[in-house]
Structure 1
Amino acid sequence: MQQRILGNSNILVSSIGLGIMGMSPGIYGETNDEQSIQTIHRALDIGVTMFDTADVYGNGHNEKLLGRALQGRREQAIIATKFSYTPNYESISGHPDYVKKAVEDSLRRLNTDYIDLYYQHRVDPQIPIEETVGAMADLVKAGKVRALGLSEASASTIRRAHAVHPISVLESEYSLWSRDIEEEILPTVRELGITHVAYSPLSRGFISGELRTFEDLAADDLRRWMPRFQGDNFRKNIEVVDKIKEIAIEKNCTPSQLAIAWTIANGALPIPGTKRIKYLEENVAAADILLMKEDLERIDQVSPKNVVHGTRYMKEQMTLLDG
């Protein structure tokens, strides 16, 4: 597995990480803790070192699961976790007092005395970013956190935060179907030396081609309530997936591998999520796929910017995105 340094830090990570959100109940259907732990162990065995979680995933379950999986192997892993959502996504808090409480809770659940990368999950519009990042910087000074990150932050917020303390990572949804950050946010993080971490590089599994009908989604799968997976949007998006699949076949890879390789070619560190070893190994193999200029141009032709039908979140969730 190729490695890279996270921006404005000395933290070395694998060029592809593992998002573990889906390993908690009530997100992407049925889960199995033992199977998930085996997947995390397999990830470590094949060179994946960055594991992305958050305190709100499963209301603490996700962090506890990762803590269990890393017992005896903590030094092999880079733990990235997040704060700001209160339980059940009821509200957002960036208050300094909440930051200090949240990190202690995460450290306890993760069964570790430090977090490698600590993100603000969503920007709190009621609290100046300078105050939130100031509190996060105190955690670095105290040795509880090694580096700081922001998630789904605007370019102006990133600049203000970076002026308080170096920001190492900006995490945002980025895929063939989520490219709105290309105009302003990506140039900003590149200018500031911030690593861009791409979550949902497969548009929550849609681009993998595994989903063919709405009924393929479990009754408790949160994607049932996402516009891209509903009605006419679903049917039109399947047509785009099929075109991506044609290129993948020519490149002797899967649609998932092609999509992940595309994010890498665009400078991102992708963190595709999965609960199963089979898909983990498939995703990681994308690191070996080299996309030439002509490949990228052809991908752009079949899946141009804004080709996807439907927003990535429901309307009320879209309002929580900074800027």
Structure 2
Amino acid sequence: MKILVTGTAGFIGSHLAQRLLDRGDEVIGLDNLNDYYDVTLKQARLARFAEHPNYTHITADLADRAAVESAFATHKPQRVVNLAAQAGVRYAAENPHVYVASNVTGFLHILEGCRHHGVEHLVYASTSSVYGANTKMPFTEHRATEHPLTLYAATKKANEQMAHSYAHLYGIPCTGLRFFTVYGPWGRPDMALFLFTKAILDGQPIKVFNHGHHKRSFTFVEDIVEGVIRTLDSVPGTNPDWNGMTPDPATSGVAPYRIYNIGNEQPVELLRYIEVLEDCLGRKAEMQMLPLQAGDVPDTEADVSDLIASVDYRPSVSVEDGVARFVEWYRGYYV
């Protein structure tokens, strides 16, 4: 297939592009290569597949309407995976306009491209952060998500609602994927595992929020990518069981639309995550214990029963294996 993937210089997008190329797809990559973090890392990710004969790169911003329209008109992708977004949850407090431009206006441009160019299926990244003030575990797609706690989460919730409206109005099959705490090789320098590894190797203290007692469904990047590919290949239809009752949040009923969690079902306490990293590095961390940050939730836990039922897949890489693979990459790239 010919697939437009946005964010191919990013953490997840670069892994996805490589996998799609490996299986024989043609990939049109779109990324603005912004300087939110080290551009040379983004360039190094791209360099792994930039010369592949089935890869074409477009350097553009999703907020640039003309550029996005041109990408669709020129390349006519059959399917689209939208992973590009302004990264960094806490960055939104300082630069809210950047978030809305990328995550809301940019997503509208993607939806319009799909609408006017006959795209067969749009898959887009959402986040477990949309569960916000929910405290009932595990988080399930069939529960309402009306109380996001950060602007980042609010923009992703907006994406889900925008996608549903386009799926209903124009018959565009849309699948939203709520990612849970992704980590692994080629990760972002502003993410916890990256920050912890650098600080420990430099002999600097690490900031441990909530005194390390919150739990997360840490999910290895290759598990995320496998889930993306399987859902990309599974085009949603309308819900045949819908009979005029209130549509289910995960499946609609009036539109070809689905929402899935992609996360490890075994949440891990942050202190255990740090302990695994210490073992992999062969060094102990100096920990600066701090309270929970504003906007953070105490715990996340993914219910992936829908993912299993629909595409026969569940994330399975343990933190022991995943962190070891990250450390191996980090040492090879930086040390």
| TM-score scaled by length of structure 1 | 0.34
Question: Higher RCO, 1 or 2 (CA under 8 Å, sep at least 6)?
Answer: 1
Higher helix share: 1
| TM-score scaled by length of structure 2 | 0.34
